[in-house]
């Protein structure tokens, strides 16, 4: 699920964002001094005021460190924008939020994954871990530049990204929709195409991750 807790001040938001970014990059929570440098604060006591407030509001575990709650069982994976399940939509690479995800379902490093928000209905008959991809769902993607035929991939066409099932022919790549909407058609590509990752899981927009 996406964590929604008590409101934060702008400085608390900056502190939480820095903790998440440093944890995401290093794989472990940062030290107070690392956080002080990242926030350009003059003293450790200033950092502690922010981290104490984050713990009180439930955004950090109430321990001596700077761990996100349930960090032993959850990983924080960034949501980096929208992706089209239909006509390709310009992909935005700004991190909108972090989604807490079951660490046992992540292979290798959490840094190898990101979430995208699906737009459209061209994959509403897909089967990813027993789930379809509907408009508004959160799609977990593992970063990789290659994929096996039949994989559900995030494909980059020029500057635009889309989710489709990939099929390779001798001279071209065909991106197939899996939809009950006949208006969704295959996309055939001869060049200007790359795989950004393979879809591994779907969190339905209602927040369920069965």
Calpha distance 111→99 (Å, rounded): 13
- Cα dihedral 20, 24, 3, 16, rounded to 10, equals 0
Which among 74, 122, 165, 179 is annotated as catalytic? 122
Residue where the block lists tokens 């900056």: 14
Q: Are 77 and 99 in contact (CB under 8 A)?
A: yes
Q: Which of 134, 190, 183, 139 shows the shortest CA–CA distance to 161?
A: 139
Annotated active-site residue 151? The verdict is: no
Q: Which of 136, 143, 152 shows the shortest CA–CA distance to 199?
A: 152
Which among 71, 74, 100, 164 is annotated as catalytic? 164
Helices and strands (DSSP H and E) totals, the chain: 3, 10
Annotated active-site residue 164? The verdict is: yes
Catalytic residue positions?
122, 164
């Amino acid at each position: 699920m996406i964590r929604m807790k008590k409101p934060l001040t702008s400085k608390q938001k900056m502190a939480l964002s820095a903790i998440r970014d440093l944890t995401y990059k290093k794989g472990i929570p940062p030290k107070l001094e690392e956080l002080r440098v990242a926030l350009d604060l003059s003293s450790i006591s200033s950092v502690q005021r922010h981290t104490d407030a984050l713990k009180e509001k439930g955004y950090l575990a109430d321990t001596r460190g700077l761990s996100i709650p349930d960090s032993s069982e959850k990983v924080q994976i960034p949501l980096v924008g929208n992706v089209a399940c239909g006509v390709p939509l310009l992909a935005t690479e700004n991190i909108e939020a972090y989604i807490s995800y079951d660490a046992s379902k992540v292979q290798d490093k959490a840094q190898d994954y990101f979430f995208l928000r699906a737009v459209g209905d061209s994959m509403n008959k897909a089967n990813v871990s027993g789930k379809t991809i509907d408009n508004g769902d959160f799609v977990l993607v593992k970063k990789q530049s290659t994929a096996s035929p039949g994989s559900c991939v995030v494909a980059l066409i020029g500057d635009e990204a889309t989710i489709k099932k990939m099929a390779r022919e001798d001279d071209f790549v065909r991106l197939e929709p899996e939809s009950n909407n006949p208006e969704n058609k295959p996309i055939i590509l001869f060049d200007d195409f790359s795989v950004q990752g393979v879809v591994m899981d779907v969190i339905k927009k209602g927040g369920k991750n069965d």
